Structure 1
Amino acid sequence: MRVLFVEGKEKEALLGLARELPHPYWLLAGEGIWLLEVFGAGEEAMAKARALPGVKVWAFALEDGVVYRGCGKKSATSP
């Protein structure tokens, strides 16, 4: 699986891209900058991201990770 990262200063442009794609995503806020992470993105998603003005785009192959391991306590967000 590939993970696409798109860094930019325009939140709405990044959200617009994310909502066009059929992939799960996270939008992270920093100090005056946004980072969109798109999971399972292919070449079409990369091309759409690169077409946005003023963004930086990277793609990485996911090699390892944990989605949810749990903390042993029941909470509102526990499955």
Structure 2
Amino acid sequence: MRVLFVEGKDREALQALARELPHPYWLLQGEGVWLLEVFGTGEEAEVRARALPGLRVWAFTLEDGVVYRGCGKKSATSP
């Protein structure tokens, strides 16, 4: 699975890009910048992101990870 990271200062531009793509995403706020993480993308999403001005773009292939491990206790957010 490919994961796309797009960094920029324009929140609305990043949200618009995320909404155009049919993939799950997270939009994170940092110190004066936003980071969009898009999961399961293809090359088309990367090309689309690189075409937008003022953004930095990285694409990675997911090698390992854990979606949910849990703590063994039942909670309101536990599956």
Pairwise TM-score range, normalised by the shorter structure: over 0.9
The equivalent of 2:72 in structure 1 is 72
The equivalent of 1:56 in structure 2 is 56
State the 1:52 CA deviation: 1.2
Separation in structure 2 between the aligned mates of residue 43 and residue 22 of structure 1, nearest angstrom: 13
Give the aligned length: 79
TM normalised by structure 1 equals 0.96
State the 1:48 CA deviation: 0.9
Q: Which whole-Å deviations, capped at 9, do the CAs of 1:52-79 have from their partners, x for residues lacking one?
A: 1100000001000000000112222111
Q: Which whole-Å deviations, capped at 9, do the CAs of 1:21-67 have from their partners, x for residues lacking one?
A: 00010111101100000001111101111111100000001000000
* Cα RMSD after superposing both structures: 0.7
1:43 aligns with 2:43: yes
State the one-letter code of the partner of 1:6: V
State the 1:9 CA deviation: 0.3
TM normalised by structure 2 equals 0.96
State the one-letter code of the partner of 1:55: L
Separation in structure 1 between the aligned mates of residue 19 and residue 41 of structure 2, nearest angstrom: 13
Ranges of 4+ aligned residues in structure 1 off by more than 6 Å: none
Which stretches in structure 1 are left out of the alignment for 5+ residues?
none
Identity of aligned residues (%): 84
Which stretches in structure 2 are left out of the alignment for 5+ residues?
none
